[in-house]
Structure 1
Amino acid sequence: MPLVTAGVVVLDCVEPEKLAQFYKELLEGRQTEASANLVEVRGADGIRIACRRDTAATPPSWPRPENSLQAHLDFLVEDLDEAERRVVALGGRPLQTRDAHGPYEERGYADPAGHSFTLRLVQPTAPKQG
């Protein structure tokens, strides 16, 4: 039996209830735990994210160098445009501008509390036909 059986990504924030709601909706998941200072969400695919209250939390400044990238999350998606619309509708914001030419494999965003994450296009597993 492994020593560590499960992991949870914990994000510090001022308002854990609001941030947990963002991730619950984005990951089409459910809230699994809640206390005065921590709310945990389990996504539909099993990913676990907890939001912990820290009244002094400051968001990372990425991509600017001061207080830069502390950590970030990567989410695999099949449709970047659809996923972006969902992120923005839930209160997230784009961090990276895209060049108007060529394919885009990933895009950077911040959640409502300022934590950065990336939506990455799922690579097809089967070769192209035709």
Structure 2
Amino acid sequence: MTLVMAGVVVLDCAEPEKLATFYKELLDAEETDATPNRVEIRGADGLRMAFRRDATATAPSWPRPENSLQVHLDFHVADLDEVERRVIGLGGRPLDTKDAAGPYEERGYADPAGHSFTLRRARPTAPKQG
């Protein structure tokens, strides 16, 4: 019998409705619960996230040391360029994307409230041929 089950990733922010909308659109999620101070969503893959109102929330400052990295999320994607366009279109901003040396296998972004996350290229599951 499992004593502890995975719960919900909760991000504190000043505007939970606005941040929930960003992640709903990014993850093709649905809202599962909402109160004046908290909004919860569930992604198509079952990931549960909630956004809790904190009027004094301070956005993380990563990569600067002050206020550091409070939380970090990784999302696996098949096409970095396509999802990057979606993130920016939804109000996210790049923190660490690609440079002239060529594309990375991962790229860093901030959501509209400043929480950082990484888009990581999903590895193929089929074995290499040849």
- Fold match by TM threshold 0.5: yes
Is 3-12 or 108-117 further displaced after alignment? 3-12
CA-CA distance at 1:97 after TM superposition: 4.1
Residue pairs, 1:22-41, within 5 angstroms: 22-41=22-41
Q: Which runs of 5+ in 1 are unaligned?
A: none
Is 2-11 or 51-60 further displaced after alignment? 2-11
The residue aligned with 1:70 is 70
Aligned equivalents of 2:97, 2:81: Cα separation in 1 = 14
Residue pairs, 1:1-130, within 5 angstroms: 1-130=1-130
RMSD: 1.1
SS in 2 for 1:19: helix
CA-CA distance at 1:96 after TM superposition: 1.1
Q: Which runs of 5+ in 2 are unaligned?
A: none
Size of the aligned set, in residue pairs, is 130
- Check conservation: 2:97, 2:104, Cα contact below 8 A: no
SS in 1 for 2:74: strand
User: Over residues 24-60 of structure 1, what are the superposed CA-to-partner deviations in whole Å (9 max), with x where a residue is unaligned?
Assistant: 1100010000001000010010000100000000110
Return the TM-score normalized by structure 1. Answer: 0.95
Aligned equivalents of 1:103, 1:56: Cα separation in 2 = 37
CA-CA distance at 1:4 after TM superposition: 1.8
CA-CA distance at 1:5 after TM superposition: 2.3
Return the TM-score normalized by structure 2. Answer: 0.95
Moved over 3 A (4+): none
Aligned equivalents of 2:5, 2:127: Cα separation in 1 = 35
Aligned equivalents of 2:4, 2:97: Cα separation in 1 = 39
Aligned equivalents of 1:31, 1:100: Cα separation in 2 = 39
